Each structure stands twice: as structure tokens, then as C-alpha cells.
């Protein structure tokens, strides 16, 4: 199911299965993909690679380690990993895990997928990547470049969601449900989101949000409206 109006888009789990395909999301968002991966297994990960776009991971469960341009960081629940275009990155997990991913639109040569130094040559860096540990990822990112497509992306549970005020959004705000059901009213139109469903909401939309599920979990992303560098 896809519901799209001028200033928001909702996609159900079975309609949100793209990653590298271009132009599926609205033109007003920097996001090209917004996906939930609930069933990561211990011992898995990805090889060192880079992209012709930015990629961001949010690990909402599990423990492991990630490397950005050869520098190691720990992965704990709620850890955010920003890998800008040209940053060589990889991760390895030491437990079963849950991950969420987004990518921006392709740039430069617009090559899809994983690019490796052996097959594709040395990358051309843009800006440094960064990692925010899970216990520190509790609000807006303290400092970021204009290239980063986000200013916040983190896990939210029942109480925090229900404490959000009805408001006309000042930033693009994007939700993805991990567990439970989310009630969402956008410019007076009501929706319910289930696990794996997403809502992309443009700044200026009047948003009311709530849940009655005590075990509810979702991730919320707030977009950087600055011009990329």
C-alpha cells in the first residue's frame, strides 16, 4: 500500500522493498531508501566498501563493531553510523541484531551497490563519517556537516512518542515502526502504521501522533534542510 499526497507519503512494509532504485520517494526529501532489517544473525556483516551516495545505519538491537576509513567503533543498541559518499566502511556483529538503513540519491558516476577498492579503485572522499554511540543518541546530532542528510535519527518508545505535541513540523520528519501500531494524523487525515511501515512527512505538515501499545518501538528521523556539500 502506498498513500501519497503533496506533503507526505506512507508506504506499507510490502511496498517498501527498494534500496538502489532511484526516484521512488518524493523529490522534496534527500532520502532514496528507508528500510528496516529485523533478523540480522550473529557473525554476519559486510565487507569494506563505499558508495556513490551517502548511507546511514541505525542499529536498534545487537552488539558488534564498525570501521569507517579504518577506524574502529563499537556498535551497541541505538548506535547511529553515518558513512558519506567515498567513506570506506564495514561492520561485523557479535550477536543477533536489528538494523535500519537509509541511502541518499546516487551522485558522480551513479554506480549502484557496493564499490570496492579492488574492483572500482580508490574512492574520492567528501566529508568525514561519524558514529554516535547508542547511549549518547538521545536527541539532535551535536554537530554535523551540511552534507549529512539528517540532524537526528534514533529509537523512540511508547512514552516519548505520546509526549510529542501536536505541531506544524519545522523539519521533514520520517517514521518507521519496529514493533506495535502507531496512530498518525497528518493535516487531519488519519493513518495506522504497523511494523515495517514508514511515513515521510514534509515540513509544514500538522502532525499528531500516539500509540496505545506499551511495547511500541519506532525510529524517528529528522532531516537536514541545509544544502549538501
Count how many residues are written for the chain.
Answer: 229
pTM (two decimals): 0.95
Give the separation between CA 94 and CA 42, rounded to whole angstroms. 5
Question: Does position 229 have pLDDT exceeding 70, yes or no?
Answer: no
Query: CA quadruple 39, 61, 45, 90: dihedral positive or negative?
Result: positive
Give the per-residue pLDDT at 145. 79
- The pLDDT of residue 7 is 97
Predicted local confidence at residue 215, as pLDDT: 95
Q: Is the pLDDT of residue 144 over 80?
A: no
Q: How far apart, in whole angstroms, are the C-alpha atoms of residue 206 and residue 80?
A: 28
**Quick one: which H or E segment has residue 159?**
helix 158-162
How remote is the C-alpha of 195 from its chain's centroid?
15
Q: How far apart are alpha carbons 223 and 172 in whole angstroms?
A: 5
Task: List the domains of the chain with CATH numbers.
Answer: 18-147 (2.60.120.10), 154-223 (2.60.120.10)
| Rounded-to-integer distance, Cα 53 and Cα 30, Å | 11
- Per-residue confidence (pLDDT) for residue 64, from 0 to 100: 98
Residue with cell 515495517: 196
Q: Are 29 and 199 in contact (CB under 8 A)?
A: no
CA distances from 20 to 85, 110, 172, 182 (A): 14, 10, 22, 27
* Cell numbers placing 173: 520528519
With cut-offs at 50, 70 and 90, classify the pLDDT of residue 227: low
The label of the residue with cell 554511540 reads 133
State how far Cα 177 lies from the chain centre.
Answer: 12
Average pLDDT, rounded, for the chain: 95
Residue 29 confidence (pLDDT) above 90 = yes
Query: What stretch of H or E contains 119?
Result: helix 117-120
Residue 153 clears pLDDT 60, i.e. is over it: yes
Confidence of residue 228 (pLDDT cuts 50, 70, 90): low
Judged against a pLDDT cut of 80, whether residue 226 lies above it is answered with no
Region 200-214: what's the mean pLDDT?
A: 96
Amino acid at each position: 500500500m502506498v498513500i501519497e499526497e503533496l506533503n507526505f507519503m506512507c508506504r506499507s512494509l510490502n511496498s517498501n522493498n527498494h534500496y538502489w532504485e532511484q526516484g521512488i520517494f518524493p523529490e522534496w526529501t534527500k532520502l532514496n531508501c528507508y528500510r528496516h532489517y529485523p533478523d540480522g544473525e550473529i557473525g554476519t556483516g559486510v565487507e569494506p566498501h563505499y558508495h556513490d551516495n551517502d548511507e546511514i545505519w541505525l542499529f536498534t538491537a545487537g552488539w558488534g563493531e564498525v570501521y569507517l576509513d579504518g577506524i574502529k567503533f563499537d556498535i551497541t543498541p541505538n548506535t547511529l553510523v553515518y558513512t558519506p559518499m567515498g567513506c570506506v566502511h564495514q561492520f561485523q556483529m557479535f550477536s543477533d541484531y536489528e538494523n535500519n538503513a537509509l541511502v541518499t540519491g546516487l551522485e558522480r558516476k551513479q554506480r549502484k551497490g557496493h564499490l570496492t577498492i579492488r574492483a572500482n579503485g580508490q574512492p574520492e572522499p567528501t566529508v568525514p563519517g561519524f558514529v554516535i554511540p547508542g547511549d549518547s543518541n538521545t536527541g539532535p546530532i551535536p554537530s554535523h556537516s551540511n552534507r549529512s542528510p539528517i540532524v537526528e535519527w534514533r529509537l523512540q518508545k511508547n512514552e516519548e512518542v505520546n509526549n510529542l505535541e501536536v505541531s506544524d513540523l519545522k523539519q521533514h520528519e520520517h517514521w518507521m515502526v519496529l514493533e506495535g501500531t502507531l496512530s498518525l494524523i497528518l493535516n487531519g487525515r488519519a493513518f495506522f502504521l504497523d511494523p515495517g511501515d514508514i511515513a515521510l512527512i514534509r515540513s509544514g505538515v500538522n502532525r499528531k501522533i500516539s500509540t496505545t501499545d506499551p511495547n511500541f518501538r519506532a525510529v524517528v528521523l529528522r532531516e537536514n534542510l541545509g544544502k549538501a556539500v
